[in-house]
């Protein structure tokens, strides 16, 4: 199915290049929805900080940001000398890949740049890294469009969709993953109503999903995470669409914490539950969900706690593949063991 490109729904893409192509440019998601702050960084520490603090977030956007950031940081610190850039590359790549552990797109994108660099002489290194980073960015935008085209048929006129976290334009270099079918349907004049889980503790659903959908003119309302099961039980949801940070070879899926509970409730009430992701999020080297490293974040994200009280704050959980109706990818609706990707 040919992918139709939809215009960017954001004031600027969530991640991309500065106009001179010497820096990573992004919309700072920490400031949304109150302020639209555009940042540019070229230093490695700035790129790592942007990813760690969720200024750039969402698995595909993290991969694109790391690729562009790595190319820019090496250009800056090597002062344009390919041999110096080659000396710096292994350390820079390792530090970037360690910025967040769960989204496979990060290590995948950094690994792609390292492999492209290894295949060329020093004189071509910096230009090759820049071209590879741009290819990753452009491919991500195209994969989002393809997910939208493949998933568009899931949504009839009047469809009511529940989503968790933000897997939209803010999480990618294009129109998103879980939100891509919604944008595609909306562009065709199909009415879709979205229910966005608030997504504690950092409120990506309330701050980000609701922001980007409402500015695109799509009906959206926010619910507290704890209300999702009751909403599914009420019969007011036709389909659940969520993104993914890593899909293991058996289909177990890591996504924002709370996704597993939504999947359980959807199964209990007979509501189809789709995971939408580019094929770059499917990690055939990880056999199952037990092998996925789950990022744990600080207690400070949970707000004020009584003195001396600790916190358990995993950023992601794993939804077993048995709860997933289908995997909506840029290559169509897939199912484990994803033989198409092994060819
Ligand atoms: O911690 P975050 O905000 O980076 O978590 C993001 C998610 O869990 C998304 O659902 C996932 O990365 C898919 S984004 C297309």
Say how many Å lie between the CA of residue 258 and the centre of ligand 1: 12
The CATH code for residues 15-145 is: 1.20.120.420
Beta carbons of 137 and 67 less than 8 angstroms apart: yes
Q: Provide the CA 17 distance to its chain's centre, in angstroms.
A: 18
Give the tens place of pLDDT for each residue, 133-162: 999 999 999 999 999 999 999 999 999 999
Picking from 168, 85, 180, the residue whose alpha carbon sits closest to that of residue 129 is 85
Point out the ligand 1 atom lying closest to the alpha carbon of residue 202: 3
> Is residue 140 flagged as an active site residue?
no
Q: How is domain 154-341 classified at the CATH fold level? A: Rossmann fold (3.40.50)
User: What is the pTM assigned to this prediction?
Assistant: 0.96
For CATH 1.20.120.420, list the domain ranges present in the chain.
15-145
List all residues whose CB is within 6 A of at least one atom of ligand 1. Answer: 54, 57-60, 103, 165, 167, 171-172, 177, 204, 243-245, 255-256, 315
Q: Is residue 343 very low, low, confident or very high in pLDDT (cuts 50, 70, 90)? A: confident
- Kind and range of the H or E element at 162? strand 159-163
Ligand 1 site-directed mutation target among 58, 145, 207, most atoms within 8 Å of CB:
58
CB atoms closer than 10 angstroms to residue 310: 7
For residues 201 and 266, is the Cβ–Cβ distance under 8 A?
no
Q: Pairing state of beta strands 159-163 and 246-248?
A: unpaired
Domain with CATH 3.40.50.10470 in the chain: 154-341
Catalytic residue among 140, 225, 245, 283, which? 245
Number of alpha carbons in the 13 Å side-chain half-sphere of residue 90: 3
Instruction: State the distance from the centre of ligand 1 to the C-alpha of 62, rounded, in angstroms.
Output: 9
Report pLDDT digits (tens) over 51-103. Answer: 999 999 999 999 999 999 999 999 999 999 999 999 999 999 999 999 999 99
pLDDT band at 1 (very low <50, low <70, confident <90, very high): very low
Bond into 33 cis (ω within 30): yes
């Amino acid at each position: 199915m040919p992918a139709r490109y939809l215009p960017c729904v954001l004031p600027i893409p969530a991640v991309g290049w500065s106009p001179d192509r010497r820096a990573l440019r992004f919309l700072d998601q920490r400031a949304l929805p109150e302020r639209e702050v555009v940042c540019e960084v070229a230093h490695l520490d700035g790129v790592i900080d942007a990813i760690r603090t969720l200024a750039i977030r969402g698995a595909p956007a993290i991969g694109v940001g790391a690729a562009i950031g790595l190319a820019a940081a090496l250009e800056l610190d090597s002062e344009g000398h390919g041999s110096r850039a080659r000396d710096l590359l292994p350390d820079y790549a390792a530090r970037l890949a360690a910025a967040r552990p769960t989204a496979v797109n990060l290590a995948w994108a950094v690994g792609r740049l390292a492999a492209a660099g290894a295949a060329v002489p020093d004189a071509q290194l910096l230009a090759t890294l820049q071209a590879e980073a741009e290819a990753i960015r452009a491919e991500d935008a195209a994969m989002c469009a393809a997910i939208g085209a493949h998933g568009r048929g899931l949504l009839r006129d009047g469809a009511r969709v529940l989503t968790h976290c933000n897997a939209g334009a803010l999480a990618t270099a294009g129109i998103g993953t879980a939100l891509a079918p919604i944008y595609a349907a909306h562009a065709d004049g199909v009415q879709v109503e979205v229910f966005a889980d608030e997504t504690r503790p950092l409120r990506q659903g309330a701050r980000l999903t609701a922001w980007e959908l409402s500015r695109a003119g799509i009906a959206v309302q926010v619910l507290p995470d704890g209300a999702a099961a009751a909403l599914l039980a009420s019969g007011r949801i036709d389909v659940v669409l969520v993104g993914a940070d890593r899909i293991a070879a058996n289909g177990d899926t890591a996504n924002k914490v709370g996704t597993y509970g939504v999947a359980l409730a959807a199964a209990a009430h007979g509501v189809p539950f789709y995971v939408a992701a580019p094929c770059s999020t499917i990690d055939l080297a990880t056999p199952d969900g037990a092998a996925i490293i789950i990022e744990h974040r600080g207690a400070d994200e949970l707000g004020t706690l009584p003195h001396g009280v600790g916190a358990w704050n995993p950023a992601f959980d794993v939804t077993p593949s048995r709860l997933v109706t289908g995997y909506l990818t840029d290559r169509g609706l897939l199912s484990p063991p994803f033989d198409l990707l092994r060819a």
